[in-house]
């Protein structure tokens, strides 16, 4: 029997050669674990150049101080120790001064979004002391460290890193590798995470650019928009002090979402210290104050503040600072 030789198509040999070269060549080492996969995802979804993305990530550094900081958040303190951090004479007085200096803008933004202006001011007061302390860490370092080296919350922070790399230049306050923020990767006066910049940042000054570092209209407008989009109710209360009776039912809640009408909590032994609508949806927080337990009815607007930071301590500090600022502005205006 005669064997007939057949020609293999040349492209098969070329493909085989490429496969062998790839299989036998050493893999390019990642600067950070999971970097290659992350770059592939961002490049596929945004069309950004993988080489540019890799260059950005190659320049980022794992920071041990960031890993140390996230292990001891201030929200782990008791209310009696947490409150004095934020409710100080200086923070209140500087908030009053900030409100009065920027009154037209603050109140115009408040009206546009239906958010009480003192709460907009209080957010930037609590977050960055009215823009004075916006953070010392490179945002890229922070999110690489927490997204690629911190397993307890890697899923969240990796997603934030991915969003940061995906944001267009028009939503960044400068070149991505120069941005500075908190140890958690939040940036600007309002300390927005990348997903919040994407979802809630607004170009309030109309210059075609969302700048949460240097544009006060964009900063205040974005905070107000965040509250509005999370369900802030114009003119509604935030909290009310509660007094339990001797037989009050112990109540534990997993978050601050309103769960019961006030009249239900009243039936369980908690009386409001001011006149309130008994049908108002509410929840209850018990906090460790300087003189023992403090009991607070909390409402929808309190819950909205916890969408900014999930800690009830944070939300109550924002509320009390806002109230002190509003009272101070009224007093100064009355005495003018």
For the chain, the 3-state helix, strand and coil shares in percent, each to the nearest 5, are 55, 10, 35
Provide the phi-psi class of 190: left if phi over 0, else alpha when psi is between -120 and 50, else beta: alpha
Nearest to 172 by CA among 198, 190, 191: 198
238 CB-near residues (< 8 Å, 6+ apart)? 298, 299, 301, 302, 305, 315, 319
Distance, in Å, from the CA atom of 168 to the CA atom of 153, rounded to the nearest integer, reads 25
Residue 295 token pair: 């009991």
> Among residues 30, 75, 101, 127, which one is catalytic?
127
Residue 127 designated active-site: yes
Dihedral angle at the C-alpha atoms of 326, 289, 284, 239, nearest 10 degrees?
-10
∠ CA 63-68-70 to the nearest 5 degrees?
Answer: 100
Taking the CB of residue 65, how many other CB atoms lie within 10 A of it?
12
Distance of CA 266 to the CA centre of its chain: 34
Active-site annotation, residues: 127
């Amino acid at each position: 029997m005669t064997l007939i030789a057949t020609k293999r198509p040349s492209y098969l040999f070329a493909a085989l050669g490429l496969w062998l070269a790839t299989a036998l060549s050493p893999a390019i080492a990642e600067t950070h674990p999971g970097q290659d996969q992350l770059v592939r995802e961002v490049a596929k979804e945004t069309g950004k150049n993988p080489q540019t993305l890799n260059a950005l990530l190659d320049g980022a550094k794992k920071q041990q101080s960031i890993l140390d900081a996230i292990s001891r958040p201030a929200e782990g303190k008791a209310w009696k120790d947490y409150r004095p951090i934020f409710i100080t004479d200086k923070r209140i007085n500087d908030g009053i001064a900030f409100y009065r200096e920027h009154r037209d803008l603050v109140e115009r933004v408040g009206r546009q979004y239906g958010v009480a202006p003192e709460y907009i001011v209080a957010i930037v007061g609590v977050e960055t002391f009215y823009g004075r302390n916006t953070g010392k860490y490179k945002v890229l370092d922070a999110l690489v460290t927490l997204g690629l080296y911190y397993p307890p919350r890697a899923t969240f922070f990796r997603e934030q890193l991915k969003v940061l790399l995906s944001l267009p230049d028009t939503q960044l306050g400068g070149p991505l590798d120069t941005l500075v923020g908190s140890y958690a990767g939040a940036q600007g006066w309002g300390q927005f995470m990348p997903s919040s910049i994407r979802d809630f940042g607004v170009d309030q000054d109309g210059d075609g650019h969302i700048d949460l570092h240097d544009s006060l209209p964009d900063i205040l407008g974005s905070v107000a928009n965040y509250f509005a989009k999370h369900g802030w109710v114009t003119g509604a209360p935030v909290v009310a002090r509660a007094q339990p009776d001797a037989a009050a039912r112990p109540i534990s809640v997993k978050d601050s979402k309103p769960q019961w009408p006030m009249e239900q909590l009243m039936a369980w032994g908690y009386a409001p210290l001011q006149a309130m609508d008994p049908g108002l949806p509410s929840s209850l927080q018990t906090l460790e104050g300087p003189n023992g337990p403090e009991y607070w009815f909390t409402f929808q607007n309190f819950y909205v503040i916890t969408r900014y930071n999930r800690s009830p301590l944070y939300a109550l500090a924002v509320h009390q600072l806002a109230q002190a600022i509003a009272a101070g502005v009224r007093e100064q205006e009355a005495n003018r």
